[in-house]
Amino acid sequence: MTTSFVLLSDTHLPKRAKDLPPGLWADIDAADLVVHAGDWVDLATLDAVSGRARRFVGVRGNNDGPEFDDRLPLVARCAVEDLRFAVVHETGAATGRERRTAAAYPDVDVLVFGHSHIPWDTVADSGLRLLNPGSPTDRRRQPDHTWMRGTVDGRDLHVELVRLPPR
């Protein structure tokens, strides 16, 4: 069986945008799993995303206030097909990221993270796949707003970066 998913992070609503892009909402509605790697800023966004997701996994980020403490963990783990996922907001500096995260998450196949707003897709020497979907609302120094979508079939992981040019 194949599981479809959406990865997003750093939505920062309503400070950076009034809503998520329509294409992202369509992806959320179509996905079997929605993963958010923190920096929601607004509980209404958490409620909207988790309410529309068939299955939801999320964490809180450094910009999420104390109202998120009872709703979301700092680290979340889940199995998707035959892969073990972990979700965190921050992983530290880009330099040495693969080595640090492989040591911190030795029992994980895929680590989803956010914070930098910079899309990231690499594989550590250990085989750990690191994925950062960027931000669909706050591109900072990036050319486009981004999120990721993909599928897992057994241990086969396919990931696509979705780019939405700024309006």
Run of H or E including 166: none
Q: What are the helix (H) ranges across the chain? A: 22-30, 43-52, 97-104
Domain 2-164 has CATH 3.60.21.10: yes
pLDDT score at 166: 67
What are the sequence ranges of the domains in the chain?
A: 2-164
Model confidence at 68, pLDDT cuts 50, 70, 90, reads very high
Q: What is the pTM of this model?
A: 0.96
Say yes or no to pLDDT of 167 above 80.
Answer: no
DSSP symbol at 67: G
pLDDT score at 129: 98
What is the distance between the alpha carbons of residues 158 and 43, in angstroms, rounded to a whole number?
Answer: 30
Mean pLDDT of 18-36: 97
Mean pLDDT of 34-44: 97
